[in-house]
Structure 1
């Protein structure tokens, strides 16, 4: 039985460069050579704001450079629930400020946070009064892209399907978390109420309802009666006839 030998390439593990930290102490656990822990001398603290921190080695690079800053300075920004602060390596001195942003649907209680004696003020994003998805209207659509949140005072505009008439306001606003009354879209129909001595072609019965664009032909029953007006009438897009409705008179 012949053996087939395959060649395998082994890549040596990439080692990270040696580290040192000014005004601090570094320690490596023998069981965790890829992770280094450090703390800072009296009067200093890690950039993260904790009293100790760690960095990890991956593919020959450290996750970050260990850094000790003065106790009265501010380093890494605090986390923001429903918001964000841009990451930076900048050191802020006592009294300095930075701006932060809130996620859509939330507003900051104040636009800036301040570094106070080495500690950042807590950034707060509160739920902003907003509306959810606008009410669905049958046979209609909204003339703007859907949004996740609609802030107080925002608006949307509805349009009805062709041959439907809108009842109510086309544009509705969000007020205090509630949408105004949405419009309705009703199908446009022209109605012809026939007298006992009048009839229409193709549409039996005393009442004829047709959609816009349709034409009906009317005539009178009885030789002594004559149609006064147009015998052919057409339904318009607004639900009205194109000419005055005729009458049968003797």
Structure 2
């Protein structure tokens, strides 16, 4: 009697012992309409793995013709499911802004719209696909946007204070921080750069020690005739009494620090900064006119600047009698894209749209096979 009482007290004092013994639970057999699994039993112990597949006229709601599921403490790791063979499982689209569980599927005829991640855009502006008898009618591709940037430039003795990514959306701002013992030539210990029209703005320089004051960059200094220096970005011009011209002709090229901040070219961006020149490039949909390289003259004036002219066509599909309404489309000069035709021109028909000398040219509505073999 004493022994039984002692055992009862131990169970009260150490309830964890009972929980440990019942921590793992068995699983009941899963339900699988339209298919079968092996081995077939009424219950399965924890850790048991089943293989399953579907009968004719059905297919799995996941990729492949068979799959497995494992009993994990009373629940199956993946619920077996068979769907109609004309339905579609979720498409796999890299860089797309959507999440689906492994068993998500869509009925025949469902139209799937894709939203790409920041920094990406649908290739050829094609953002939808339709489930047609078990297959998606087209493959949606999320490609890098024309105005997004790749990884930020590597700067000696500096690291970026952001998670690594291969693509950054336009207007993204990232911060650098210098290695211990180095300082950035700015008022703060960190400095940022921006993604502008597909290119990163100039980054900081991390130098040893603190010999220069805020905003100064000793590597950008140039000597003057009197032995003094003028700093990068200074607006001091020859002839104001604070510096000399070193005997240079007023139209003789000199270091760009003498001219101050880089001039702004509308729809353009500086892609290369040298001690003696700047190089410009136009954004997508624009073409460079004039010199791509700009120099600084000794009189503090920049050489002739380039301009960026329009190099695209604009098409409003909502006002077009042939095309399926999809808003305004911009097409680069010389580029050919396929736009979906209205449903009355038959399903899966497209028109080839080309931009030539600022003028839109549209082909008749044809299906993919006709377009491929030029039989439209």
* TM-score relative to the length of structure 2: 0.36
The answer to whether 1:133 aligns with 2:152 is yes
Aligned mate of 1:57, from 66, 71, 86 = 71
1:218 corresponding residue in structure 2: none
**Cα distance between partner residues in 2 of 1:29 and 1:42:** 20
- CA shift, 1:117, in A, is 1.2
Q: Is the alpha carbon distance of 1:208 and 1:66 closer, same or farther for their aligned partners in structure 2, counting shifts above 3 Å?
A: closer
Instruction: Kindly tell me the number of residue pairs found equivalent between the two proteins.
Output: 182
Aligned mate of 1:98, from 112, 117, 124 = 112
RMSD of the TM alignment (CA)?
A: 4.9
2:364 corresponding residue in structure 1: none
The answer to whether 1:119 aligns with 2:129 is no
- CA shift, 1:27, in A, is 1.2
2:53 and 2:67 in contact (8 A); partners too: yes
List runs of 5+ in structure 1 lacking aligned partners.
Answer: 1-6, 137-144, 163-170, 194-206, 212-236, 246-250
1:82 corresponding residue in structure 2: 95
**Cα distance between partner residues in 1 of 2:105 and 2:204:** 55
* TM-score relative to the length of structure 1: 0.51
- Report the structure, 1 or 2, having the larger strand content: 1
**Structure 2 matches for 1:87-236, cutoff 5 A?**
87-88=100-101, 91-109=105-123, 110-120=126-136, 121-129=138-146, 130-133=149-152, 148=165, 149-151=167-169, 154=171, 161=186, 174-175=196-197, 177-179=198-200
- Report the structure, 1 or 2, having the larger helix content: 2
2:168 and 2:195 in contact (8 A); partners too: no
- CA shift, 1:125, in A, is 2.4
**Cα distance between partner residues in 1 of 2:130 and 2:33:** 26
Q: Is the alpha carbon distance of 1:44 and 1:134 closer, same or farther for their aligned partners in structure 2, counting shifts above 3 Å?
A: same
Q: Is the alpha carbon distance of 1:94 and 1:181 closer, same or farther for their aligned partners in structure 2, counting shifts above 3 Å?
A: same
Deviations 1:180-231, CA, capped at 9 Å, x for gaps: 77899657x9xxx9xxxxxxxxxxxxx69699xxxxxxxxxxxxxxxxxxxx
Higher relative contact order (CA 8 A, sep 6+): 1
Q: Is the alpha carbon distance of 1:11 and 1:102 closer, same or farther for their aligned partners in structure 2, counting shifts above 3 Å?
A: farther
**Cα distance between partner residues in 2 of 1:84 and 1:151:** 14
2:38 and 2:52 in contact (8 A); partners too: yes
**Cα distance between partner residues in 1 of 2:21 and 2:60:** 34
Q: Is the alpha carbon distance of 1:20 and 1:178 closer, same or farther for their aligned partners in structure 2, counting shifts above 3 Å?
A: closer
**Cα distance between partner residues in 2 of 1:183 and 1:11:** 61
